[in-house]
Structure 1
Amino acid sequence: MKKSISLGILGLFLAVSCQQKKEVSTQKEVAVSETKASPKKEEKLVMANAAEILTRKEVPILCYHNIKDFSASAGEMTKTYTVKPNLFAEQMKALSDAGYHSILPDQLYDYLVYNKALPEKPVMITFDDTRGEQYSIGAAEMKKYNFKGVFFVMTVSINRPNYLSKEDIKTLSDSGHTIAAHTWDHHMVTKYAGEDWETQLVIPKAKLEEIIGKPINYFAYPFGLWNKEAIPEIKKSGYKMAFILSTKRDSIDPLYTIRRMIVSGTWSTPRMMEAMEATFKNTK
């Protein structure tokens, strides 16, 4: 009888113990489930002011126009704005060999505004004026080094002979390059008035967005020329940054005066590398 009672008590103890373990296990599973289900708190980003942006080390930004051969008798403008294909190939290889990594405007914006990290030795490779060889030669050469570029398009030229087609522009975008605006017909912004802002800023932006199916957030001034009156219009048109050439940035709106350097067709590859380092002395 005593033995029977003892066995009964033992059985009851084991049953209670198993139930407690099951409850604890269930509680742990619920806790884990709730932890997984709970969304992480998003980090609150604080935008830098103009003074803070100006303290960031500048990123080297190269500006190319034509990539084709030219003769020794070519005019000075042609020589300045045209880089021979073999030299362009050398320059891309030199950048890669020196450890540079290409970046795009979204990365530059996040770095300048939110101080987000960039790759080691960043460089931006940009193209102006919509020339066809920028796709057939430029993009093809950059692909060898996994470089991505920025193509500033003036929309009046799209589909013209020796210029980028709609298909080229869409392919570049789909391949990871950035498409950006360079006005409708390359008139300098310092002379805009009235409907010019709509014609040169708003309509080209919408046309390019229709072609690539993505927002167009960046703009390059024709000839690199800008004035303070243009910046509010560029902002109002929906652009996040605008690019000049290698003149001084604006202290109030540095995001709308991002410096670039034209690569001259008269330079050797070592000269180009030296010019880049001299132009962007405080580069990261």
Structure 2
Amino acid sequence: MKNSAFLVFAGLFLLVGCHSETGKTKNGVVLSVAPIIKKIAPKKTMADAATILSKKEVPILCYHNIKELKASDGEMTKTYTVSPANFAQQMKALSDAGYHSILPNQLYDYLAYGVPLPSNPVMITFDDTRGEQFSIGASVMKKYGFTGVFFVMTVSIGRPGYLSKEQIKSLSDSGNVVAAHTWDHHMVTKYAGDDWNTQLVKPKNKLEEIIGKPVTYFAYPFGLWNKAAIPELKKSGYQMAYILATKRDSVDPLYTIRRIIVAGQWSTPSTMEAIKSSFNKEL
């Protein structure tokens, strides 16, 4: 009888010891054990398209060339080229105005799940894999604590004047985001057959091999898109895609995120004003 009582007591002692709550006792004898209830975090519900479209837009800037213009350069080159001095002035103006750079994962969480952003958010992006985006762009941004998004056209990697594998890896390792911009800048609206694999899947795989991280963001060449591209982007593993300053899709707004090209003809005050006028829903 004594042995049985001892075993019961020992069992209760062990049971209590395995729980964070001890339960009730009297004169050292356990009378009951409080149940342990595990709290399970509720699953986040992703916002629907209408909710995403109703959210205040974040200003997103798109740069291409950062270099001095030549007298022979045409109007298109002038539009897509910002001088190093102007780029530096623009980054300083953003910093002085209290802007904080954000990255795509932050924008995604804000749009899809309502996660708050820092005050005065802005996203700084670069297209077309130009080498000066590393030597000038990333260097100047770092001075102001900014990070950016580099949309890489993989056919150009390692060519003279373009980003090398080592530079792309360095951009990623230093807190910037490396994303896809197709293989050869062939516009999405003309894809057929194996083009989807060539322009979406293979560039994604190549960039992931270089940086050792998932690549889940995409920018349409020329900002041109169509509805046929969105399911292909989803199937290829992209969770967000960027256009230029045109209307967003009413069904899949995460695959038509708006940006504006910072034109080379703009002064710094013009650039700051364009941010407000193009993304006029204040955060």
TM-score bracket for the superposition, by shorter chain length:
0.7 to 0.9
Q: Distance in 2 between matches of 1:283 and 1:163?
A: 36
Aligned to 1:71: 70
Deviations 1:133-180 (A, max 9, x none): 000000000001110100000000000011000000000000010000
Equivalent residue number for residue 199 of structure 1: 198
The 3 A distance-change label for structure 1 pair 207 and 58 is same
Aligned to 1:123, the other structure's residue is in SS state: strand
Contact 1:60 1:283 in 2 (8 A): no
Partner of 1:9: none
TM-score under structure 1 length normalisation: 0.87
Pairwise CA distance, 1:44: 2.2
SS of match in other structure, 1:31? coil
What's 1:31 paired with? 21
One-letter code of the match for 2:161? N
Q: What is the Cα deviation at residue 71 of structure 1? A: 3.4
Deviation at 1:74, TM superposition (A): 2.4
Aligned length: 256
Equivalent residue, structure 2, for 1:265: 264
Partners of 1:105 and 1:116 in 2: how far apart? 13
Tell me the equivalent position of 1:228: 227
**Which has more radius of gyration?**
1
Q: Which residue of 2 aligns with 1:176?
A: 175
1:91–1:40 Cα change, 3 Å: farther
Greater mean deviation of Cα atoms: 257-266 or 228-237: 228-237
Residue 276 of structure 1, CA deviation: 1.1
After superposition, where does 1:58-207 map in structure 2 within 5 Å? Answer: 58-207=57-206
TM-superposed CA distance for 1:40, in Å, is 5.6
Unaligned 5+ segments in structure 2 are 1-12, 23-35
User: Given residue 111 of structure 2, which amino acid in structure 1 is its aligned partner?
Assistant: L
- Encode CA deviations 1:219-273: one digit per residue, 9 max, x unaligned: 0000000011111111111100000000000101100000000000000000000
Aligned amino acid, residue 233 of structure 2: I
1:141/1:40 Cα in 2 relative to 1: closer, same or farther (>3 Å)?
farther
Percent identity between the two aligned chains? 72
Q: Secondary structure at the match of 2:87?
A: helix
Q: 1:125 to 1:39 in 2, by over 3 A?
A: farther
Q: Per the alignment, do residues 31 and 281 of structure 1 end up closer, same or farther by CA in structure 2, a change over 3 Å counting?
A: same
- Runs of at least 4 residues of structure 1 off by over 2 A? 29-32, 37-44, 71-74
Counterpart CA distance in 2 for 1:166 and 1:126 is 19
* TM-score of the two chains, using structure 2 as the length reference: 0.87
For 2:131 and 2:60, the matched residues in 1 are separated by 21
Give the distance between the partners of 1:283 and 1:185, measured in 2 at CA.
36
Q: What is the RMSD computed on CA atoms of the aligned residues? A: 1.9
Secondary structure of 2:21's partner? helix
Structure 1 position 53 matched with structure 2 position 43? no
| Separation in structure 2 between the aligned mates of residue 274 and residue 220 of structure 1, nearest angstrom | 24
* Secondary structure of residue in 1 paired with 2:126: strand
Letter in 1 for 2:148: G
Counterpart residue number, 1:276 = 275
What does the per-residue CA deviation read over 1:101-146, in whole Å, with 9 as the maximum and x for residues that have no partner?
0000000000000010000000000000000000000000000111
CA gap of 1:38–1:205, structure 2 versus 1, over 3 A, is farther
1:4 matched residue in structure 2: none
Greater share of helix residues, 1 or 2? 1
Q: Residue 164 of structure 1 aligns to which amino acid in structure 2? A: L
Matches of 1:49 and 1:93, distance apart in 2: 37
